[in-house]
């Protein structure tokens, strides 16, 4: 087994590395890694139904789609992620996979006096509070299972960034199941065994977990990314994981609606999005106009459902002719929560 330790905190790059390790390596792999402020959405989720798009944009929070299933999770530097990649055991189902790969984490936490346990299929809890969500995918009989470990994450950012009103989105996308969460740091013991250096922060927690798990895995050896590895991951990051077409456009088809009182009157918007682009758009309300709304709507058909794409289109349209006294920036807000 290879132990891959790399301290990059770019979420686009780290998710690209996950795919690269899964598809290009043949050895079993254990990995620890961290991301800067980001929301990582599940493979088949509707991204816009999961995040507060205005909050993440204003606060520079990156949004990245991963290969694995499950719900959206918030990452920051107070969260440590772990990954196991191994061959699938014949007959092993998803529940058994989660048990197999979370067992070392539970045992490591138990080793410093924290009573962690697996509940349900894929959540790790302490005293009924979730500190780890886990997800899995399979490629050519090779399993990738990764999970979060909230150590000292910002709970305020977590709650605000993931805040959404899913009833505005109607579709087949998987909605996240919000749970009560906790940080591991809140459950640290007052004293540690003599042979274990005290865990006081995320860095010492990383060191402890690394030493504990690596000492119990047979024939494990450190692995450092080669220049060829880095170049391949850079390319995957650039061409896929940093692209809006992957992070937003891969969302399943959905409908979105919103009603708001704007400076020029009440506006009601009804929209259908497929493969990340607007395919149907209808706007109604008591606003005044000099150009027909149907013409405006037609100009937006085929536009990606992202803030930047819609804002760029609206810059080229005389919006106040279609909606008197409603500036483009105010109108752009109607396309999102």
Model confidence over 89-120: pLDDT tens digits?
Answer: 988 888 888 999 999 999 999 999 999 999 98
**pLDDT for 171 beyond 80:** no
| Mean pLDDT on 7-16 | 97
pLDDT digits (tens, 9 = 90+) for 177-188: 556 889 999 999
CA nearest 167: which of 106, 235, 255?
A: 255
Q: Which residues of 79-104 are buried (b: 16+ CB within 10 A; e: fewer)?
A: bbbbbbbbeeeeeeeeeebbeebbeb
134-153 pLDDT tens trace: 999 989 989 999 999 999 99
Q: Mean pLDDT throughout 213-228?
A: 93
Share of the chain above pLDDT 70, in %: 95
Write down the pLDDT at residue 174. 61
pLDDT of residue 46: 83
Task: Compute and round to an integer the Cα radius of gyration of the chain.
Answer: 23
What confidence tier does 235 reach under pLDDT thresholds 50, 70, 90? very high
DSSP H helical segments within 152-193, as ranges? 155-161
Residue range 220-243: average pLDDT?
A: 97
pLDDT value at position 204? 96
Q: What is the pLDDT of residues 297-333, one digit of tens each?
A: 999 999 998 888 999 999 999 999 999 989 999 999 9
Any idea which residue has 């590895």 for tokens? 229
Of the ranges 49-53, 57-61, 84-88, which one carries the lowest mean pLDDT score?
Answer: 49-53
Predicted pLDDT of residue 252: 77
Three-state SS string over 269-305 comes to EEEEEECCEEEEEEEEECCCCCCCHHHHHHHHCCCEC
Tens of pLDDT along 245-290?
899 877 778 888 999 999 888 899 999 998 889 999 999 888 888 8
- pTM value is 0.80
CB 204 within 8 A of CB 197: yes
């Amino acid at each position: 087994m290879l132990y891959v330790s790399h301290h990059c905190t770019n979420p686009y790059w780290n998710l690209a590395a996950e795919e690269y390790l899964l598809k290009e390596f043949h050895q079993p792999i254990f990995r620890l890694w961290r991301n800067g402020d980001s929301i990582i959405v599940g493979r088949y989720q509707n991204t816009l139904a999961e995040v507060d798009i205005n909050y993440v944009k204003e606060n520079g929070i990156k949004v990245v789609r991963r290969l694995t299933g499950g719900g959206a999770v918030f990452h920051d530097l107070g969260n440590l992620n772990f990954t196991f990649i191994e061959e699938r055991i014949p007959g092993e189902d998803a529940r058994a996979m989660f048990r197999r790969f979370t067992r070392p984490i539970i045992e490591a936490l138990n080793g410093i006096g924290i009573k962690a346990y697996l509940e349900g299929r894929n959540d790790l809890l302490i005293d009924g509070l979730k500190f780890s969500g886990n997800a899995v995918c399979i490629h050519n009989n090779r399993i990738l299972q990764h999970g979060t470990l909230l150590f000292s994450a910002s709970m305020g950012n977590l709650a605000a960034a993931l805040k959404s009103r899913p009833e505005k989105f109607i579709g087949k996308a998987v909605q996240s199941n919000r749970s009560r969460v906790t940080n591991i740091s809140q459950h640290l013991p007052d004293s540690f065994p003599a042979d274990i250096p005290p865990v006081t922060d995320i860095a010492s927690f990383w060191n402890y977990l690394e030493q504990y798990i690596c000492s119990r895995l047979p024939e494990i050896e450190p692995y450092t990314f080669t220049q060829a590895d880095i170049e391949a991951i850079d390319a995957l990051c650039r061409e896929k994981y940093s692209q809006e077409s992957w992070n937003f456009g891969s969302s399943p088809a959905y409908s979105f609606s919103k009603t708001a009182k704007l400076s020029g009157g009440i506006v009601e918007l009804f929209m259908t999005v497929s493969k990340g682009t607007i395919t149907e758009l209808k706007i109604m309300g008591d606003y005044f106009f000099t150009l027909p709304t149907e013409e405006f709507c037609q100009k937006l058909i085929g536009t990606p459902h992202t803030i930047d794409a819609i804002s760029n289109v609206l810059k080229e349209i005389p919006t106040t002719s279609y909606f008197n006294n409603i500036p483009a920036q105010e109108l752009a807000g109607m396309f999102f929560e």
